[in-house]
Amino acid sequence: MRYTLDEIRDIYHLPFTTLIFRAQETHHKNQDPSGVQLCTLKSIKTGACPEDCKYCPQSAHAETGLDREDLLDTATILKDAEAAKKGGSTRFCMGAAWRRVPYGDQFDSLLNTVGVVSDMGMEVCCTLGSLEQDQAIALRDAGCAVYNHNLDTSREFYSEIITTRSFDERLDNIRKVREAGMEVCSGGIIGMGESVDDRLKMLQELANLEPYPDSVPINALIACAGTPLEGREFVDSFEFVRIIATARIIMPKTMVRLSAGRTEMNEELQALCYLAGANSIFLGEKLLTTPNPESSDDYKLLNKLGLTSLDPAEARAIHARADDESATLV
C-alpha cells in the first residue's frame, strides 16, 4: 500500500501554507506548471438512468424534469467534437446515462463515433457506466484512449449515495478498463454530506490503485433541484482546495481535474485550485446536463494567470522525464 489513512490525514491537515508549498513542489517536479489540460464533455445519451446515484440529475429516481434523449448519432456528436476542437479542447469526453453499456446497434454506432472523433486528432474519453471486458477492448481498439468511472466517495459513505451498484463493482470496472489498455480517469464528488475523513478515504483508495488513475476529476457537488441532495450547501472553499492539494501530493503524475461546480467558484478560488495542483478543466458552456463557465471567461482567467493549454503529447513527455529523474535518484 502506498499510503495509509494517517499519512494522508497528516498531509491534508498541514498548515495551509505548507500544504500548498508541498503541492507546488510536487507539481513542479512532475507536471508542466504552466499547462492546463482542456477537455470538453458531451452527453451522448441523456437521462432515464436506472441507477439511483443521489447526486445525479440523470437518475430515473430523481424528479428533475430533464428531457431524456436516446443515443445520439455519429454525425450529431461529430459536430460538437469539431466545435470543441476549434474551441481549443484536446480531449472529448462522451458520457452516457447507462447502467451498463449495451451490445448491438447502439454499441456499434458508439464504436464508429469513437473512431471518427479519434481520427480528428482528439483524445477520446468515454464514461458509459459498467462494461464487460470485451466491450472495454472493443472501445480501446476503436480509438478510445481513456475511460472515466468515478469512485465518487469513500467505501463507507458510498451506500448513503448509491444502492444500485456496489463500490466493488466500480473497482472491478476500473480494473477492466486498465486491463484493456485504456487510461483510467477516476475521482469523486466533494460536498454530499460526507466527512473530511470520507474524502480522504476516497483519495486513499485512488492513490493505492496500482497504478493510480491517470486523471482524477474532483467534482464539487452541484445540488440539482429534484435530486435527494437538493439544497445541500456548496462545499467550503478551503476544504475543497485542501483536497486538490492532497490529491496532487499523493498522486504526483495524475491530471487533477477541476470538474463540476466551477460556476459557483470565483476566479480567486479557481486560481487557488491551480496553485494547489489542479491542471485540467472542462471547457465549454455545458458539463453533461448542467452549466459550466463560458469558455471566454476561462480563457480570460488562464491568460491572467499566464497558463496555457497542455498538449497531451507534452504531458506524456513530462511524465517520462519525471520517471527518468526518479530512476537516477535511486
Residues carrying an active site annotation: 49, 53, 56, 93, 125, 185, 257
Nearer to ligand SAM, 56 or 72 (CB): 56
Phi and psi at 174, nearest 5°, equal -60, -40
> Is 92 in a helix, a strand, or coil?
strand
Place of cell 480494473: 175
Q: Is 227 in the site for ligand DTB (CB under 6 A)?
A: no
Residue 209 to residue 226: CA distance in whole angstroms: 34
Query: What one-character DSSP code corresponds to residue 291?
Result: B
Question: Closest separation between CB of residue 30 and ligand SF4, Å?
Answer: 30
Measured CA angle at 221 (ends 160, 27), to 5 deg? 110
Binder of ligand DTB out of 8, 72, 162, 288 (CB under 6 A) = 288
Question: Closest separation between CB of residue 196 and ligand SAM, Å?
Answer: 18
Nearer to ligand DTB, 95 or 143 (CB): 95
Nearer to ligand SAM, 24 or 130 (CB): 130
Q: Is residue 264 within 8 Å of 234, Cβ to Cβ?
A: yes
- Please report the DSSP string for 138-174 in residue order: HHHHHTEEEEE---BS-HHHHHHH-SSS-HHHHHHHH
Binder of ligand DTB out of 40, 153, 259, 270 (CB under 6 A) = 259
Residue 198 to residue 24: CA distance in whole angstroms: 24
Nearer to ligand DTB, 97 or 318 (CB): 97
Q: Say which entry of ligand DTB, ligand SF4, ligand SAM, none residue 221 contacts (CB below 5 to 8 A, set by partner kind).
A: ligand SAM
Q: Say which entry of ligand DTB, ligand SF4, ligand SAM, none residue 202 contacts (CB below 5 to 8 A, set by partner kind).
A: none
Place of cell 486491463: 179
H or E element at residue 125: strand 123-127
> Is 325 in a helix, a strand, or coil?
helix
Q: Say which entry of ligand DTB, ligand SAM, ligand SF4, none residue 289 contacts (CB below 5 to 8 A, set by partner kind).
A: ligand DTB
Binder of ligand DTB out of 205, 289, 307, 310 (CB under 6 A) = 289
Alpha helices by DSSP H, listed for the chain, are 5-12, 16-30, 74-86, 105-119, 133-142, 155-161, 167-179, 196-207, 237-250, 267-275, 295-305, 312-329
Using CB under 6 A as the binding rule, the residues of this chain from 115 to 154 that contact ligand DTB are 127, 148, 150
Neighbours of 177 (CB within 10 A): 26
Question: Closest separation between CB of residue 188 and ligand SAM, Å?
Answer: 6
Q: Say which entry of ligand DTB, ligand SF4, ligand SAM, none residue 125 contacts (CB below 5 to 8 A, set by partner kind).
A: none
Binder of ligand SAM out of 136, 138, 146, 221 (CB under 6 A) = 221
Q: Is 173 in the site for ligand DTB (CB under 6 A)?
A: no
Judged by CB under 6 A, which stretch of 4-12, 159-167, 264-272, 288-296 contacts ligand DTB? 288-296
Where does this chain bind ligand SAM (CB under 6 A)?
Answer: 55-56, 95, 97, 127, 129, 149-150, 152, 188-189, 219, 221-222, 224, 260, 288
